[in-house]
């Protein structure tokens, strides 16, 4: 699965017993990156990845 939107692209690919998640996020400049981090991006991304881990584990158990 692949997607791209607003400077962010992602790819999910099976890799043996796990799923590989690749995320690429681009910013126009350092100030934009710093502002995004100050707004809680790191914490939000961490929570999203933890939720994704749980979702993928649940789907694996159903299969």
* Average pLDDT value for residue range 46-57: 88
Distances (CA, A) of 15 to 20, 22, 27, 47, 63: 6, 12, 29, 23, 16
Query: Is the pLDDT reported for residue 56 higher than 90?
Result: no
Domain span at 21: 2-62
pLDDT at 35: 96
pLDDT at 32: 94
0.95 exceeded by pTM: no
The total domain count for the chain is: 1
For 13-30, what is each residue's pLDDT tens digit?
A: 888 888 888 989 999 999
């Amino acid at each position: 699965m692949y997607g791209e939107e607003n400077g962010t692209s992602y790819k999910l690919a099976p890799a043996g017993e796990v799923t590989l998640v690749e995320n690429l996020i681009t910013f126009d400049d350092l100030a934009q990156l710093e502002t995004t981090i100050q707004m809680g991006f790191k914490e939000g991304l961490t929570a999203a990845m933890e939720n994704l881990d749980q979702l993928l584990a649940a789907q694996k158990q159903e299969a």
